[in-house]
Amino acid sequence: ISLYLHQPLGFKVFLLHFITRSVNAGTTIKRLKGIKEVLGQVEYKMITPFDILPSFYAVRIGRVLCDMVPCGPDEVEQAVKNAHAAYLKWSKLAGMERARVMLEAARIIREQRDEIAKVEVINNGKSITEARVDIDVAWQCIEYYAGLAGTLSGQHIQLPGGSFAYTRREPLGVCVGIGAWNYPFQIAAWKSAPALACGNAMVFKPSPMTPVTAVMLAEIYAQAGVPEGLFNVVQGGAETGSLLCHHPMVAKVSFTGSVPTGKKIMEMSAKGVKPVTLELGGKSPLIIFKDSELENAVKGALMANFLSQGEVCCNGTRVFVQREIMPQFLEEVVKRTKAIPVGDPLLDGTRMGALISRPHLERVLGFISEAKKQ
């Protein structure tokens, strides 16, 4: 299966190419073989940005898949202008018209669920079981906001003397979404669905570590019938994000990621008095008392710490256990942890896949080493 996104008139071609192989008694899966370049998708056409970033790796095997090509000032300018032009058309549609297009996008995602999930595994390294859930959450999110699109309304306010006032809800314009690497496709859907339902356009920048599946979402929106340029994908790191936050035509910024980066985005956006939505790193400690149901407590602790290889912003990084039940709790946690199937994340039996990068792996190993010393 090959997915081509292209620009006519000699621009380069973006290619996701899959090969088929047999696994476990004839079960057929599709593997991402290689991508020459990951390009920004602007107005559903592929553009070739200005420079080369470090290579993008297939996390599950640690092999270079492609060169990640960042977008510079010209590409960001083009993306924002195209988004604004599309917003002027999209915002004039009735809510139910926007809803129909979004429901079609959700349908296409459901139809392509397995293919998107397999690319997400290669994009991120999580198990195929979890990736399928992520794709389901994505189309459900789009469906939910499609249902709200036709219900947006203002208020009628009665004033003294027979006068009245009314309010109306209007779209902001061009919104920017900046995603994280732990839930790439899901976050792209979470940020774009409410923006599009309310009549806005979006320029989305995925994490440079997981650049692929956001482009697939852009193609799906295009297939569903959104105006050209309404959902654009630009690739890059901090410099590209800074260009987006400072752009005068951007009306709002939504970011998922670390607290230090979130602070910088808030500062940059404040200069243009742009509202921001920040979903930053959070930690969720667990407290387990002796009167708790031990079985449920162990399951909860394992889920809180090992879901998506522990690469979750609300990870249960600290587990406080009442002293009286500590031995039983620890014994059960160790036993179940050793039983977690670790392996190729594309295989259905795997429950723990690969960490996102070698530096992250070394950081985790450092934590383990320090814990052993203590």
pLDDT digits (tens, 9 = 90+) for 108-118: 999 999 999 99
What are the angstrom distances between the C-alpha of 120 and each of 79, 178, 186, 204, 321?
Answer: 24, 17, 10, 17, 36
What pLDDT is attached to residue 316?
85
Which of these, 139, 152, 153, lies nearest to 103 by C-alpha position? 139
How far is the C-alpha of 27 from the C-alpha of 118, rounded, in Å? 14
* Torsional sign, CA 171, 173, 176, 177: positive
Given 3-state DSSP classes, what are the helix, strand and coil percentages for the chain, each rounded to the nearest 5? 45, 20, 35
Query: Active site includes 279?
Result: yes
What pLDDT is attached to residue 282?
77
How far is the C-alpha of 204 from the C-alpha of 174, rounded, in Å? 10
What pLDDT is attached to residue 63?
67
CB 69 within 8 A of CB 52: yes
**Hey, do 2-152+168-280 and 286-373 end up sharing a CATH topology, with the first three levels equal?**
no
Which listed residue (279, 311, 324, 332) is catalytic? 279
What pLDDT is attached to residue 34?
34
Classify residue 348 by burial, with Cβ atoms within 10 Å: 0-12, 13-18, 19+. Answer: middle
| CATH 3.40.50.720 at 286-373, yes or no | no
Could you read off the pLDDT tens digit of each residue along the chain, which spans 374 residues? 222 222 222 222 222 322 222 222 222 222 233 333 445 565 555 544 444 444 666 666 666 666 667 888 999 999 999 999 999 999 999 999 999 999 999 999 999 999 999 999 988 999 999 999 999 999 999 999 999 999 999 999 999 999 999 999 999 999 999 999 999 999 999 999 999 999 999 999 999 889 889 999 999 999 999 999 999 999 999 999 999 999 999 999 999 999 999 999 999 999 999 999 999 977 788 999 999 999 999 999 999 999 888 888 888 888 999 999 999 999 999 999 999 999 999 999 999 998 888 888 899 999 999 989 98
Q: Where are the domains of the chain?
A: 2-152+168-280, 286-373
Residue 65 Cα to chain centre, angstroms: 19
Residues 6+ positions from 9 with CB-CB distance below 8 Å: none
How far is the C-alpha of 164 from the C-alpha of 98, rounded, in Å? 30
CATH node for 2-152+168-280:
3.40.605.10
What pLDDT is attached to residue 70?
80
Pairing relation of β-strands 27-34 and 13-23? antiparallel
What pLDDT is attached to residue 3?
26
Helices (H) and strands (E) in the chain, counts: 11, 17
